[in-house]
Chains A and B, each alone.
Chain A
Amino acid sequence: MRISWMGAVVVSTAVLFLGCEKKSESELLDRYQASLVELEIARKGYNYRLPWVTQRSQTKKNGVIIEGRKILTTADDVSGHVLVRAQKNGESRKFEASFLWIDYYANLAVIEVEDDEFWKGLKPVSLANRVPNSGLLQILRWRSGRLETRSAEIERLFVGKGQMSYIEHLQLEVSSEIEAAGWAEVVVQNDRVVGLSSSANGKSLTVIPSVFIKNVIQGWKSQEEAGLGYFDFAWQFGTNRALLESKGWNDPDRGVVVTRVGDKGLGNTLIKPGDIILEVDGFSVDVEGKYVDPRYGRLLFDGLATRERMANDSISIVVWRDGKKVSIDYELPKAEFDRDLIPDADYDETPEYYIAGGLLFQPLTGGYLSAFGKNQPFLIRYYDYERPVADRQGLVVLSAVMPDPYNRGYEDASQLIVDTVNGNEIENLGDLIEAFEAPEGDYHVIKFFQDQPLKTIVLDSNELGLATARVLKRYRVPEDRYLLPEKP
């Protein structure tokens, strides 16, 4: 009898618990129904093998209403957007929208909708001022016209590279049963938004935390295109005590060693190779490059460049250099892909190309490289990995040859990095076009880097124009070139 009573108590408790959970889930959905929207983004992409050819695609993702009648989402899969539409309340009506700004470095974007009808009944959310270190969260999203939620458990807070750029910032990793996530699902704790999902790998979901989002939004509010700052130097662990001691630094618990400076071409060279980084922004840096964040514990110091700071802000760095401590007022250079020898990414940009007598030339960029997937030509991969060319701002590659009598014998030439054309060093397509305008007598002489499979190509300069026109017609290429407008 007693056992039966106990069983009854257990069953009724479980029913009560499930009932409460159901109730709280329903309250949560009610609370956020008016704050979450579904976004449909039609995009135009490019085939980098045939850079004049466009491809269409469409992405569906989530957004959340923030103050000022705006929608916040991630920047993933919005590059090349041609049409943005927003849906609310799971209704079928779609409202045309536009991007107010997109920050690919932060992987965040803000969208506006002009139609007042859209905003009726919608409520902005509050972004949490602090991200929890542990515990349970809820993930919300629209799916097939229904707002759904899944639980998530916090795994860790960490500083890591974002989904869209080399910027390292605070991120939250959670585990959840949610499927096919990573499309700006909204992660909440009670009445506060903790972040937006940026990627998923199995049950693990990476979330851009609210504190980082707030900093970025604040930056855009205060100064248009302020952008994120970046420590443009690489470092290694100082765990080997002898390494630090060999530089005269005897504290075994502090310091990492700077190995390279300026890999991203951002221009700040105040930090030198061989410096031992001791403090950043007043925080002591340990031998693994971590500092103790007052809120979030041990984190990599790289994240301090985006912690309550934007590009051009100053941050204090103390280094050990030549046997003494040196304090540096490090002005955070703005992260810009274009400053790199091979830009990591070229979001929203139509790929550049130039065709001369059937020879297709393209700048070496992240977009160009990504077109190869995992099968990047070795030498191209090497140049991307090692950046061995210190004195150039960019590289141009002869990517393919469209066969024509004019270029006979060169049909198989491809993926050759251009060194000079008619004696002029080539860093970009502008240089290349200019160089083709100054032939060496009756010839164009194209030289490739010494380590490439072919060193020299010679073309007839007098026939170039005719040959190019013939190739364009035969291969149905609309123009012989596309060059981006020059940036200020």
Chain B
Amino acid sequence: MRISCAPEIGCLRLDGWTNVRKLRTVLKSLIFCIVIPLFWAVVSVKAAEPERSVVQILNFSQRPNWVEPWRYSGVAKGTGSGFLIEGGRIMTNAHVVSWSKQILVRRYQDPKPYPAEIEFVGHDCDLAVLKVSDPAFYKGMESLGFGNLPKVRSTVVTYGYPAGGDQISYTRGVVSRIEMQPYVHIANRSFLSVQTDAAINPGNSGGPVIQGDKVVGVSFQGNASLENTGFFIPPNIIRHFLKDIEDGTYHGFPDAGLILAPLVNPSFKKYLNLPGEGLGARVDRIIYPFSKTHELIRPNDVLLKVGRYPVGSDGLIQYMGNRVHAGVAFDSAQHGDIVDLEIWRDGKKINVPLPVWVNREDAIEGNQYNQDPPYFICGGLVFTELSRNYLAAQGRNWRSSAKPNTLYELMFTRYLGGDAWRSRPVVLSTILNHPLNADIAVPARSIVDEVNGIKINTMEDLVRAVESNKDEFHRFRFIQGDRIEALKREAADEATKEVMNTYRVPADRRLKS
């Protein structure tokens, strides 16, 4: 479950620019990817010898080009770690196996690589499970079981195959903090995360973190700006993922669409007729779409309880001995579940059973994987979906180089709803040179507002607006500066064919299924 709180609460916002800034800082410093893993040294490995269940994962991947979406990068090789769990599955991080074309796994002290396939992947929680079809792979391997959330100050051991050698590596660390953290693989989600003081090395990602003889986490990211700091995914997130896939589909973590603010000021409490001290955080806003949340929850409702967890006036709950963001209490819900909320409204307590679903409407705001970007070509003008991936493809400094209204369109219009909110804005990605478009004055990266008088909210709108047009001209309007452009319709059709031939574009479009 995803939930946010306003900035003065001092905890993490998951929506909007505050979050983006926070994420930016985190992203700068967090190392993760396929090339990162971490590991902690052995304390007392039990007789089971967990290292025998830990594998090295080799991922041969290819990514699409987000500016010219029919093109793909060369093949890249990345390594990570994984471990055998019940059901003959290898658990690892989603980022270890993203964009894979071929995955090989290597057993402990076994020279033979085994081909593996992704069975399920959860990019929001950065977890994946793989399957190996060769039964020989499983010979002599025991699956590792999961334990509970480790306590702060307790010792854990990480296992993995970090860079710098081919042999398994162990590192030991102390659990130093447990709280919500941005999961940088997806970039726009935060979940509970455990921080430890062990160093982070590329290649450890996906490896188990063990306490006693149980897995208490999956290593997944580090922080380059801090010394001896690594993060692992705790058991509650792992179990949520495993339960989610029981029906054969991974849905993801549902979202309530709430933005919480602390309710510390005595006057505000009095204004809401809220008695007592220290209890209840205020619903500051509800983002879009979340129609059920809009129906059941109101701004200035005070959230008193989520399930069995009382919510403090700072927006935190007491969770297994830790003060963490109230969002953690939602994270046990599955897609379509109902979360029982106790709300203070109009001077009295009410119970609100709030159904929650996975929000895919803000997918463009985070990193997207394993889905080729859509595009459509009209007269050499290449249109694609505005997304974080698209902007990030413009270079490392994309946040500062993008026009303010481009970032606003991507990250803020869902606070406004109504006509202001486009679920999946379309951007003029690039222009394939052709005499027909040589004098187009609108620059690439402009966001499409209207085409042939039709407001464009999605790529499908764009294609419909172009293909239903019977006029002599296609007319485009962009949001940047209200600029407009036009192409002769029939000439555009011809030009599309010619640029496809010239630039070896296999098709004039690819839309999401």
Taking a contact as CB atoms under 8 Å apart, the answer to whether B473 and A245 are in contact is yes
Q: Is B278 an interface residue (CB 8 A)?
A: no
Give the size of the chain B interface in residues (CB under 8 angstroms).
53
Taking a contact as CB atoms under 8 Å apart, the answer to whether B268 and A259 are in contact is no
Within A450-488, the residues touching B (CB, 8 Å) are 450-451, 453-460, 463
Taking a contact as CB atoms under 8 Å apart, the answer to whether B8 and A378 are in contact is no
Taking a contact as CB atoms under 8 Å apart, the answer to whether A379 and B17 are in contact is yes
A234, A382, A406, A463 interface centre (most CB from chain B within 10 Å)? A382
Taking a contact as CB atoms under 8 Å apart, the answer to whether A451 and B416 are in contact is yes
Q: Which of B7, B284, B441 contacts A239 (CB 8 A)?
A: B441
Taking a contact as CB atoms under 8 Å apart, the answer to whether B405 and A386 are in contact is yes
Q: Is A90 an interface residue (CB 8 A)?
A: no
Q: Is A273 an interface residue (CB 8 A)?
A: yes
Taking a contact as CB atoms under 8 Å apart, the answer to whether B415 and A382 are in contact is no
Q: Which of A246, A442, A453 contacts B6 (CB 8 A)?
A: A453
Chain B residue numbers with a CB within 8 Å of A456 are 261, 282, 284, 299-300
Within A423-466, the residues touching B (CB, 8 Å) are 442-443, 445, 450-451, 453-460, 463
Within the assembled complex, what's the spacing in Å between the Cα atoms of A381 and B440?
28
Taking a contact as CB atoms under 8 Å apart, the answer to whether B441 and A242 are in contact is no
Within the assembled complex, what's the spacing in Å between the Cα atoms of A408 and B442?
49
Chain B residue numbers with a CB within 8 Å of A58 are none
Taking a contact as CB atoms under 8 Å apart, the answer to whether B482 and A407 are in contact is no
Chain A nearest CB, measured from B264 CB (Å): 3
Taking a contact as CB atoms under 8 Å apart, the answer to whether B482 and A453 are in contact is no
Taking a contact as CB atoms under 8 Å apart, the answer to whether A243 and B485 are in contact is yes
The answer to whether residues A246 and B263 also contact, given A378-B17, A385-B404, A412-B10 and a CB cut-off of 8 A, is no
Chain B nearest CB, measured from A480 CB (Å): 19
Within B257-303, the residues touching A (CB, 8 Å) are 259, 261-268, 270-271, 282, 284-285, 299-300
Q: Which of A245, A408, A453 contacts B265 (CB 8 A)?
A: A408
Chain A residue numbers with a CB within 8 Å of B72 are none
Within the assembled complex, what's the spacing in Å between the Cα atoms of A463 and B265?
13
The answer to whether residues A409 and B263 also contact, given A259-B481, A451-B415 and a CB cut-off of 8 A, is yes
Chain A nearest CB, measured from B432 CB (Å): 15
Q: Is B305 an interface residue (CB 8 A)?
A: no
The residue on B at minimum CB distance from A244 is: B486
Chain A nearest CB, measured from B475 CB (Å): 6
The answer to whether residues A450 and B267 also contact, given A412-B10, A455-B299 and a CB cut-off of 8 A, is no
Within B236-262, the residues touching A (CB, 8 Å) are 259, 261-262
Q: Is A146 an interface residue (CB 8 A)?
A: no
Taking a contact as CB atoms under 8 Å apart, the answer to whether A381 and B404 are in contact is yes
Taking a contact as CB atoms under 8 Å apart, the answer to whether B18 and A453 are in contact is yes
Taking a contact as CB atoms under 8 Å apart, the answer to whether B481 and A236 are in contact is yes
Q: Is B403 an interface residue (CB 8 A)?
A: yes
Q: Which of B6, B403, B441 contacts A240 (CB 8 A)?
A: B441
Q: Which of B270, B404, B441, B483 contacts A378 (CB 8 A)?
A: B404
The answer to whether residues A410 and B486 also contact, given A453-B13, A458-B271 and a CB cut-off of 8 A, is no
Residues of A contacting B: mostly:
mixed
Chain B nearest CB, measured from A91 CB (Å): 50
Taking a contact as CB atoms under 8 Å apart, the answer to whether A259 and B482 are in contact is yes
Chain B residue numbers with a CB within 8 Å of A379 are 17, 412
A260, A385, A408, A455 interface centre (most CB from chain B within 10 Å)? A455
Chain A nearest CB, measured from B167 CB (Å): 47
Q: Which of B8, B415, B488 contacts A411 (CB 8 A)?
A: B8
Q: Which of B408, B415, B440, B484 contacts A257 (CB 8 A)?
A: B484
Chain A residue numbers with a CB within 8 Å of B20 are 378
Chain B residue numbers with a CB within 8 Å of A409 are 8, 262-265, 268
Q: Is B407 an interface residue (CB 8 A)?
A: yes
Chain A residue numbers with a CB within 8 Å of B7 are 412-413, 453-454
Chain A residue numbers with a CB within 8 Å of B486 are 240, 242-243, 245-246
Within A82-133, the residues touching B (CB, 8 Å) are none
Chain A residue numbers with a CB within 8 Å of B472 are 246
A242, A274, A386, A407 interface centre (most CB from chain B within 10 Å)? A242
The residue on A at minimum CB distance from B482 is: A259
Within the assembled complex, what's the spacing in Å between the Cα atoms of A367 and B17?
23
The residue on A at minimum CB distance from B300 is: A456
Taking a contact as CB atoms under 8 Å apart, the answer to whether A410 and B271 are in contact is no
Taking a contact as CB atoms under 8 Å apart, the answer to whether A450 and B407 are in contact is no
Chain A nearest CB, measured from B357 CB (Å): 23
Chain B nearest CB, measured from A431 CB (Å): 22
Interface residues in chain B, defined as those with a beta carbon under 8 Å from any beta carbon in chain A: 6-8, 10, 13, 16-18, 20-21, 259, 261-268, 270-271, 282, 284-285, 299-300, 403-405, 407-408, 412-413, 415-416, 436-437, 439-442, 472-473, 475, 481-488, 491
In the complex, 15 of the A-B residue pairs with CB atoms within 8 angstroms, ordered by the A residue number, are A237-B439, A378-B404, A378-B407, A386-B404, A406-B267, A407-B265, A409-B265, A410-B8, A410-B265, A443-B267, A450-B416, A455-B285, A456-B299, A458-B268, A459-B267
Q: A450-B285, A455-B261, A458-B271 are in contact. List 8 more A-B contacts (CB 8 A).
A: A242-B487, A378-B21, A379-B17, A407-B265, A408-B266, A412-B7, A455-B259, A456-B261
